[in-house]
Structure 1
Amino acid sequence: MTRKLPIIAVATAPGKAGVGVIRISGPQLLPIAEALFHKALTPRQTNLLTLRDARGETIDQLIAIYFAAPASFTGEDVLELQCHGGPQLLELVMKRCLELGKDQGLVIAEPGEFSLRAYLNNKIDLAQAEAIADLIDAQSEAAVRGAARSLQGVFSNDINALIEEITQLRILVESTLDFPEEEIEFLENAQARQRLSAVMEKLHKLREGAKQGKILRDGIQLVLAGAPNVGKSSLLNRLAGEEVAIVTPIAGTTRDRVKESITISGIPMHIIDTAGLRETSDLVEAKGIERSWEAIQAADLVIFLQDSNSINAIDSAAVLDLKAQILKALPPKCPVLEVINKSDLLANEASHQSESPSLLISAKTGDGVETLKQKILESVGWGGSQEGAIVARRRHLDCLDRAATHLDKSQQFAADGNISLELFAEELRLAQDQLGHITGKLLPDDLLGKIFSQFCIGK
């Protein structure tokens, strides 16, 4: 699955910096370290050393730290070189390391290969390995804290505890398979149904927490949609707190998607201002409208913005037709918030607000915008608490959903009048396997390779 050769990569981000770190991992790295510095390195001690090229000229004075296996991140021998952070300098250090490590087979690491080796050497499980990438890519303080909890094993511990409970239930069920005449008595004496219900309740709570965690990790793709000149760009500017989109009284000003990322109560929001949806013969505007529909089709939440100038005709055929088109284009389970803008132009705002199911705001003055932010969070299912939150991925949610489906089936096979211990046990096994996929147990090699290929090189 992975190469046994020693690997090397720059572990810090590209660009100029005060310090750049180069990481080497593999079996028996001491010969490479001695070839680089002509000195034996003591494990876990910092060494201020000079690295020279083949002609004996100084490349850099750096700090080298050697970690002997298995007491390292990857579980292998690891050598970390802390150099000055110039890109050209790091390239020269890499080149010199590859020259002197040639006899040991030193090669450049593939994306995620350090984390993959840590996983394969049982230093971390798969959920923790993914949390490393999530910690690096975190888009908010809450996401950082959630990823850190996952890296510490909070999510994995919950999964493993659930697996253990299912395992114990499987042991009870499978030990009774040879005594079919005692099925009913077994289920009652072992309280199998009650134990299964408790497992299902814990899985439900874990799924809800994972849904919150996915919101923390990925944020929300929020699309502002509506007819031209209803104030979509003004609302984007109001939410962003700055002028990121051009606003004019001319309909059709926005001809392409404008995207801005913000946070609302610590939750990342990727807001897309779209071109006004209408029929047009303008080729440029038509292309922008086409991209608007593409954005709607990929949205997590759509705000259907309308204009208070036409509030008396809110049920007009044109508005209803546009709303129907938007609802038809939405991805499954994507909510729509109906919002009426320009409340500052209304003579009696309070009466209009009470009569209309839509939320009334003014992007110009800010009236109603704070309420809109709360509605946004409610619409996407955010529970409102970041305490103890973890980050989760779509893959995790899919595994949890499939595990829940199998537990539902197992409950059916354990029901009165429909007892089948063989099928009960099989559905428990399938649920257990799905949970095991989250931490990397029984995960296919091709999927494992795909997951780690999305990591940064050097991680």
Structure 2
Amino acid sequence: MESSPDIIVAQATAPIPSGIGVLRVSGRSMEALVRSLTGKGYPVARQASLRSFYNRAGDLIDHGLILYFPAPHSFTGEDVIELHAHGSPVVLQELQVHCLQWGARLANPGEFTLRAYLNNKIDLNQAEAVADLIHAESSQAARSAAMALSGRFSEVIHSMISDLTMLRVRLESDFDFTDEELPVFHEISFRSSLNHLLERLTRLVENSRQGALLREGKQIVLIGSPNVGKSSLLNALTEEDHALVTPIAGTTRDLIRGHMVLQGIPIHLVDTAGIRETGDLVELAGIDRTWLAANKSDLALVVVDVRNGLTEDDRSLIGRLLPDQPKLIVANKIDLLSPECDAVSELKHSLAGVLPVIPVSAQTRDGLDVLKQEMLSGMGIGRTSEAPLLLARERHIGILVQAMGHLQEALRTLESEFVAEELRQTQLKLAQISGKEFAADDLLGEIFSRFCIGK
């Protein structure tokens, strides 16, 4: 796939009213377009210049700043123009229309970043990091994405590829000197290097899996009988009024989603319809969606009214959840217990340690900090490092795991030709992450189609 000579244009800021809006143009030989827009030629490179912007009829659109980044020292590696105007969607639309009438075309999603990759300004992993930085849902995720964009992840991969190259050179040279008593791949130093490389790759996979949590997050479903306080708990955990709360059972008919961040990990909460026997078709549809959401979640919070203990309906509900699905019992409404009531202990005793019981009050927020820690533990998430993790994607993790498999096979085999082939396959797999040596058109299309238009 080669970079297109077309001139592309797109709004780089959100199409909503704002103080400033930015229109980005990339291509070659755009001075005529700049003169048509502003009445003047290119401004001084990489310096903001105040200009008036006109439409094709010569009518004034706006006053703003223009920035010119000449090739190859630009984000895309081509000539790039940025128009900084007042952030009216109408103004930005008029400027874009002018460019389209002049002969530019509207950029495809991710096309600016795709051109940066095709012009060797960034590698494939850095290109993906652009999207991750834009969509980061926590400060830790943003720092990790910025680290990947700076090339840290790529440096780690390239270091491994370099070490693989040296091992392959040693092995291939052995084929030309068959007089040696001990083949290279049987030498202690060679196998030690292979084991060390496998250990590095194993650590990288673990780091990448933790980093993937920062990008993808976890889904937690709140499930229980009607009127046990699921919606109140959702609002309390997210500190926003996502769900309508009333004393009327069955108020929640559809899935209601909320968002929170725990230890830098995005948590997607799903409030569901209360489970009960009903003839209401709308409520039944909501209950069906409840079970679909529950089966896809990483953790189920089974909310119960602590005053009622664990009812038969609660036990039936727990029994319908997937056996291997992590679950917690959230004993809500402890603020309504009388001082002499020991309902929490009775509830824990009735479960006999089968499931953890966390007493909380969605109204007073008591117990929420303990619940948050138990939510993380229930999903198998320990305390994350303060240092930025490698914000890997499932694509990266899959490739790394396959590369590990080839290295493990290289250590098991007894034939030097097979060792050489496994090392070659390992190197090819790792190269897919940066895309420097491997970049199928369908893979690029899949990656960049997920970007927003102005990137």
> Helix, strand or coil: the match of 1:341?
strand
Distance 1:38 1:258, change over 3 A: closer
Match of 1:59 in 2: 61
- State how far apart, in whole Å, the 2-side matches of 1:424 and 1:430 are: 10
Q: CA RMSD in A?
A: 2.6
Match of 1:274 in 2: 272
Number of residue pairs matched?
442
Check the 8 A contact 1:343/1:349 in 2, yes or no: no
- State how far apart, in whole Å, the 1-side matches of 2:361 and 2:99 are: 58
Alignment of 1:170-249 (within 5 A): 170-177=168-175, 185-189=183-187, 191-248=189-246
Match of 2:25 in 1: 24
Tell me by how many angstroms 1:278 deviates: 4.5
Tell me by how many angstroms 1:446 deviates: 0.7
Check the 8 A contact 1:230/1:341 in 2, yes or no: no
- State how far apart, in whole Å, the 2-side matches of 1:183 and 1:27 are: 61
Distance 1:439 1:13, change over 3 A: same
TM superposition score normalised by structure 2: 0.88
Match of 2:150 in 1: 152
Distance 1:167 1:85, change over 3 A: same
Structure 1 residue corresponding to 2:137, chosen from 136, 139, 142: 139
Distance 1:348 1:52, change over 3 A: closer
Tell me by how many angstroms 1:390 deviates: 3.4
- State how far apart, in whole Å, the 1-side matches of 2:283 and 2:60 are: 59
Match of 1:444 in 2: 440
Structure 2 residue corresponding to 1:327, chosen from 314, 322, 326: 322
* 1:370 equivalent in alignment to 2:381: no
Check the 8 A contact 2:263/2:383 in 1, yes or no: no
> Helix, strand or coil: the match of 2:128?
helix
Alignment of 1:35-46 (within 5 A): 35-41=36-42, 42-46=44-48
Structure 1 residue corresponding to 2:82, chosen from 56, 80, 83: 80
- State how far apart, in whole Å, the 1-side matches of 2:224 and 2:407 are: 43
Distance 1:281 1:206, change over 3 A: same
Tell me by how many angstroms 1:125 deviates: 0.9
Match of 1:252 in 2: 250
Unaligned runs of 5+ in 2: none
Unaligned runs of 5+ in 1: 414-418
Check the 8 A contact 2:295/2:322 in 1, yes or no: no
Distance 1:29 1:226, change over 3 A: same
Tell me by how many angstroms 1:99 deviates: 2.9
1:70 aligned partner, one-letter code = P
Alignment of 1:101-116 (within 5 A): 102=103, 106-116=104-114
Identity %: 43
* 1:420 equivalent in alignment to 2:415: yes
Tell me by how many angstroms 1:77 deviates: 0.9
Tell me by how many angstroms 1:111 deviates: 0.9
Structure 2 residue corresponding to 1:454, chosen from 443, 447, 450: 450
- State how far apart, in whole Å, the 1-side matches of 2:130 and 2:254 are: 35
Check the 8 A contact 2:185/2:416 in 1, yes or no: no
Check the 8 A contact 2:306/2:347 in 1, yes or no: no
Match of 1:395 in 2: 395
> Helix, strand or coil: the match of 1:293?
helix
Check the 8 A contact 1:301/1:380 in 2, yes or no: no
Distance 1:185 1:381, change over 3 A: same
Check the 8 A contact 1:396/1:438 in 2, yes or no: yes
Distance 1:33 1:244, change over 3 A: closer
Distance 1:122 1:98, change over 3 A: same
> Helix, strand or coil: the match of 1:110?
coil
Check the 8 A contact 1:238/1:363 in 2, yes or no: no
Structure 1 residue corresponding to 2:326, chosen from 311, 318, 336: 336
- State how far apart, in whole Å, the 2-side matches of 1:212 and 1:222 are: 18
Tell me by how many angstroms 1:120 deviates: 0.6
1:259 aligned partner, one-letter code = R
Tell me by how many angstroms 1:402 deviates: 1.9
Alignment of 1:92-103 (within 5 A): 92-100=94-102, 102=103
* 1:295 equivalent in alignment to 2:293: yes
Q: Which deviations, in whole Å up to 9, do the C-alpha atoms of 1:29-76 show, x marking residues without a partner?
A: 223223433433232232212222344322222211211110111011
Distance 1:97 1:342, change over 3 A: closer
- State how far apart, in whole Å, the 2-side matches of 1:185 and 1:165 are: 19
Tell me by how many angstroms 1:107 deviates: 1.4
Q: Which deviations, in whole Å up to 9, do the C-alpha atoms of 1:161-206 show, x marking residues without a partner?
A: 1222222222222333456785854234362221121112111221
- State how far apart, in whole Å, the 1-side matches of 2:432 and 2:319 are: 40
> Helix, strand or coil: the match of 1:50?
strand
Which deviates more from structure 2 when the two are superposed, residues 151-160 or residues 403-412? 403-412
TM superposition score normalised by structure 1: 0.87
Which deviates more from structure 2 when the two are superposed, residues 180-189 or residues 287-296? 180-189
Q: Which deviations, in whole Å up to 9, do the C-alpha atoms of 1:394-417 show, x marking residues without a partner?
A: 22222222222222222222xxxx
Tell me by how many angstroms 1:15 deviates: 1.0
Match of 2:128 in 1: 130
Tell me by how many angstroms 1:437 deviates: 1.6
* 1:286 equivalent in alignment to 2:278: no
Check the 8 A contact 2:76/2:115 in 1, yes or no: yes
> Helix, strand or coil: the match of 1:327?
coil
Distance 1:338 1:255, change over 3 A: same
Check the 8 A contact 2:301/2:330 in 1, yes or no: no
* 1:70 equivalent in alignment to 2:72: yes
- State how far apart, in whole Å, the 2-side matches of 1:184 and 1:287 are: 71
* 1:405 equivalent in alignment to 2:405: yes
> Helix, strand or coil: the match of 1:92?
helix
Check the 8 A contact 1:66/1:78 in 2, yes or no: yes
Tell me by how many angstroms 1:14 deviates: 0.6
> Helix, strand or coil: the match of 2:37?
helix
Tell me by how many angstroms 1:110 deviates: 0.8
Tell me by how many angstroms 1:214 deviates: 1.4
Tell me by how many angstroms 1:97 deviates: 2.3
